[in-house]
Amino acid sequence: MDRRSRREHRSSQRTRPCEDTSSNSSAAARGTHLVTEGRDQGTVVFPNAGCKFFLTASPEERASRRQIELQAKGEFIPLEDLLAQQAIRDQRDQTRSCSPLTPPSSTRR
C-alpha cells in the first residue's frame, strides 16, 4: 500500500501526535541496523542513534515532488494548493507539544 495515499495523508493529519506508536517502534528496532525516515526519527523514535541526518528540500521542491506522485495516480492538485497544505502541516508539526518537528541537536546537516 502506498503510504502517501491521500486517504492515509488525511488520516495522519487527524491522528493524535502523542500516540504511543513511536515508542513501540523504537523498542522493536533496538539492536538492529536500519535506516528510517520520518519527522521524529532522530528526536523521539531513535534519540540515541549513533548517526543522524536531517535533510529537507525547499518548499517548492517538496510540493513539486508531491504533485508528481499524485499525477502518477491520476490526481491533480495545483502547485499553489500543495504549497499551502504543506505550509499548514509544517507549522502544525513544528509547534505541536508532543514530538515537534525539530532537528536533533546531534544531527549532521
In the chain, the number of structural domains is 1
pLDDT at residue 54 in the model: 83
Whether residue 85 contacts residue 9, with contact meaning beta carbons closer than 8 Å, is answered with no
Q: Could you tell me the mean pLDDT of each successive run of 10 residues in the chain, 109 residues long?
A: 51 52 53 79 85 89 98 97 97 89 74
Phi, psi dihedrals of residue 53, rounded to the nearest 5°: -130, 140
For residue 41, what pLDDT is reported? 85
Question: What is the domain range of residue 52?
Answer: 6-95
Residue 101 in any domain: the answer is: no
Q: Is residue 33 a part of any domain in this protein?
A: yes
> For residue 88, what is the domain's CATH number?
3.40.50.300
- Other beta carbons within 10 angstroms of residue 45's beta carbon come to 20
